[in-house]
Amino acid sequence: MMSHGLPLADSEVEERFDVWSARAAIEYYESHAFTDGLPVVPVSESSLAAFLRTVDRDPQEVLMPMPHLNRALTVRLAAINAAMAGCLPEYFPVVVAAWEGFAAEPTPTRGIWQSTTGTAPLTLVNGPIRDQIGINCAGNIFGSGFRANATIGRAIRLAAINVFGLHPHLLDQATQATPAKYSACLGENEENSPWESLHVQHGFDSDDSTVSTFVIRSVLHLEARHCDAPEQLGHDLANSVARTGALLHEYTSSLIVLGPEHAAMCARAGWDKDTVRRFVYEAASVSRATLARVGKGAVSRHSRWRLPADHPDAIADETSARGGDDAPVLSSLDAIQVIVAGADNAGVSAVVDLFGPPRGIPFSIAKVRSSA
């Protein structure tokens, strides 16, 4: 039976599957606030067992503690939320690797998950597992339409809600947040990249499957369809990184997601990922007059957050002693990372604002390990 092109269960299906019981189970989860606002998949012990069989882990092993909340995520709890999110069991090793990456964050920074800033977890998948489970790497990478991407990202969010208690208006105090709080998972388009993938750059083999984990604030799309020189694109990227609205702290950090067309243009000119990173690092600055105009001309002596120069807690940022009219916004090359993802159909890239450490690499990588 069809209604406006959408399939509905016919009587034969209903004889084998009690649709109304399923709906009742879904409403039960909703009534107990076990959801992100969307319906979840009911879970039984037998369906849960299929997830746990995919990893060689003790179900009671703690994947990620939240000491300040006195809560901890176990393998079993991660599996329950992955099943509720709509994952297939074969996705679960990726979910576990993602949690291992997030657990590598410095413990004091985990409070940012419930911050007014509205941050969201982002998982990036590399290696053969992308094809094995159907991770989308090309076209609509930040959008809908691909079960693996949607449900893996959602599994992280559901566990944050159900295990850590990060419900909106309660422990999650995001002022506005981001749609990425529903789900944020993508794969690097290794096949259409002229360069080494992110995980190979960081010491893994190309046939390793990995998950890189980031904490993000926003995704800013960049239209540069007609630029014909990497320097033009580089200045566009640097301007996007250095926008004053992104400057929460003394420095910022960013993940540049180059579309394949932009990556190919850079490669034709002899640029590699590190060339792109260095160009953006050196070009990403903002005038001190602009910072003063938006009330970000100084930093807090305690938090290093930007604030007006006449604020009682204000001190000069560390680069002001160098003189000059411009303030650099990246602390080091590590603060800017580059991947290639998206479709090869337009000159479109993106700058992802990260909530990273003041210095150092603003993400973690974990290897995907299954029981097979």
How confident is the model over 96-113, as pLDDT tens digits?
999 999 999 865 567 778
Q: Quote the pTM value.
A: 0.94
Place of tokens 């120069």: 309
Query: What is residue 323's predicted lDDT score, i.e. its pLDDT?
Result: 83
Residue ranges of domains in the chain: 43-284+329-367
Of residues 138 and 114, the one with the higher pLDDT is 138
Using CA atoms, how far residue 254 sits from 100, 124, 304, 333, 355, in Å, is 21, 14, 18, 10, 8
For 181-195, what is the mean pLDDT?
Answer: 97
Nearest residue to 112 via CA among 179, 75, 159, 66: 66
pLDDT at 157 over 50: yes
pLDDT at 28 over 60: yes
Amino acid sitting at position 126: N
Average pLDDT, the chain: 92
Using CA atoms, how far residue 213 sits from 37, 40, 180, 247, in Å, is 24, 24, 13, 21
pLDDT at 56 over 80: yes
CA distance 231 to 227: 9
CA distance 359 to 357: 5
Query: What is residue 8's predicted lDDT score, i.e. its pLDDT?
Result: 44
Query: What is residue 261's predicted lDDT score, i.e. its pLDDT?
Result: 97
